[in-house]
Structure 1
């Protein structure tokens, strides 16, 4: 499944580069932007430039994916344990994830607890067979065993669905578009507004930076829309593993905690794979659907 996703990612990006190369050629023919070679004083937007944008766009996402477990452990202070731990609660968590992973047909994830009074959890990792599932100490203190079991199942479902890879692929495609379009905007501003005809002027850098910020903000709702879709699927996966009533009960508990402002936001790197989102100033920028919508979707299963 991992290699199919990567192959799909590569095919999509080749298609993106092909289409953008045609668009840029049309813009050059119409005289809107200058696509002459760097040797002649212009900014090179030919195929090499497109490929470099794809490398930067895709490369950043894949590097973040590859180091995601390492980063999560250090950023969140995750204490990883195994079945031999002396802590009975941690041992129960490990055995629960082990059974769920077997049912979901994935390799056993690393399992850990991170210090936080807020009830939350997350999954991360570079693939279905190299993952980490972690829960907060606050979640263990505020939820029953059945509710914790459902939260663990939700995170295992994220891993089984390959959501970390999927979101990295989507982010990589978005980043590629942002880089290329920001370069186009920078060149347009440099040539048309600043009237620079030699090399790359200050207008390019100003235009590139401003366009990158604006385009990133505009593209974020697309990524978040995919993230919300993955949440519904992870909830359904948890319902399959432990029963929908347990998952509904866990979400009801999180709903209460959220209403009391007891839930803290996870870092951006893990937010999309947590059990609940917080502090999104708009529904369009939220990585999770409203808890009420998730409960309603579960009841309809």
Structure 2
């Protein structure tokens, strides 16, 4: 639950800090119409610029952040047979998918894990842990690489950034409308924005931010099923099932910080916490693959 809290707080903090800074700078005043009402067009543009801006800045920095947080080392010149095999396998999968060869990296972790990130499908990074290479055989690693390459080919990083941008825009837009309404209707403030607007809009951002996180997490879970199917198409359905079975038995720890959402297995959650999970349970993913008829 602590990791979920950190994830939520990080996303909410971005919106809240931005909102406070903009209010202190007086930027919110451009949203007024003669001091008595909101200019909804200006408000929507304002919300979209900052909602999508933050999301795509994070996307643009994703490879740098991933390398820094995990210590992933990009393979430029293979030093052994394992690294040569990794490069050859990813190259073969990239050609099959019709995308450019991504950077391939290894990061030190005893847990079997892998992730893919990057701003576009032709400028991406695929990384595997040392624990993955030690605990899985070649067929299972091939399937994991196929899963990550499917994420890249499907443009999942961009898709999630777009979804995050939409919900961020919604949060900023609706929170200010709620704050404005309470300020005018409940506290009868007829000019400018008073303290009620400030407090109410922040509270609305917190509540809406939690709901927004649930939406993004749901979209992410659907993309995981699709990436599993993509990995099965590239490496073989039984190899993909075997890789997920291996992960289920290993109970790997999630990746550090915000990178947890990018790991192949995600964080196991129960009860209401499932609503904030970026990955479906491994049991569901395995069953989905077993139920495929082709």
Query: What corresponds to 1:154 in structure 2?
Result: 147
Taking CA–CA contacts closer than 8 Å with sequence separation of 6 or more, which of the two structures ends up with the larger relative contact order? 2
Q: How far apart, CA to CA, are the structure 1 residues paired with 2:152 and 2:31? A: 45
What's 1:53 paired with?
A: 47
Partner of 1:60, secondary structure, is helix
Structure-to-structure mapping, 1:156-235, within 5 angstroms: 156-235=149-228
Give secondary structure in 1 for the equivalent of 2:38: coil
Given that residues 67 and 73 in structure 2 are in contact (C-alpha distance below 8 angstroms), is that contact kept between their aligned partners in structure 1?
A: yes
Q: Check the 8 A contact 1:65/1:168 in 2, yes or no.
A: yes
**Is the contact between residue 36 and residue 43 of structure 1 (CA under 8 Å) also seen in structure 2?**
no
Per-residue CA distance 1:44-67 (angstroms, 9 max, x = gap):
333112111111111111111112
Instruction: Summarize the Cα distance change of 1:298–1:36 in structure 2 as closer, same or farther, 3 Å threshold.
Output: closer
Give 1:1-301 correspondences, 5 Å limit: 38=32, 40-42=34-36, 44-82=38-76, 84-258=77-251, 263-267=252-256, 269-278=258-267, 280=269, 282-301=273-292
Change in 2 beyond 3 A, CA 1:268/1:106: farther
CA contact (8 A) 1:36 1:44 kept: no
DSSP 3-state at the match of 2:196: helix
* Contact 2:254–2:263 (CA under 8 A) maintained in structure 1: no
Alpha-carbon distance change, 43 to 141 in structure 1, aligned in 2, over 3 angstroms: farther
- Give the deviation of 1:241 after TM superposition: 0.4
Which runs of 5 or more residues in structure 2 are unaligned? 1-28
Shift of 1:264: 1.7
Q: CA deviation at 1:272?
A: 3.6
Cα distance in 1 for residues equivalent to 2:35 and 2:89:
63
Q: TM-score, normalised by structure 1?
A: 0.82
Structure 1 residue 36 displacement after superposition: 11
- Give me the CA root mean square deviation: 1.9
**Deviation at residue 287 of structure 1 after TM alignment:** 0.8
Give the number of aligned pairs. Answer: 262
CA distance in 2, matches of 1:37, 1:85: 56
Measure, in 2, the Cα distance between the counterparts of 1:190 and 1:115.
53
Contact 1:167 / 1:227 at 8 angstroms: preserved in 2?
A: yes
Runs of 4+ in 1 over 4 A off after TM superposition: none
Which deviations, in whole Å up to 9, do the C-alpha atoms of 1:106-154 show, x marking residues without a partner?
A: 1000010112222111100111100000111221121112111111110
| Residues 119, 136 of structure 1: 8 Å contact kept | yes
Give the Å deviation of 1:190. 2.0
Using the size of structure 2 for normalisation, the TM-score is 0.84
Task: Specify the SS of the correspondent of 1:264.
Answer: coil
Do the aligned residues in 2 keep the contact of 1:158 with 1:273 (CA within 8 Å)?
Answer: no
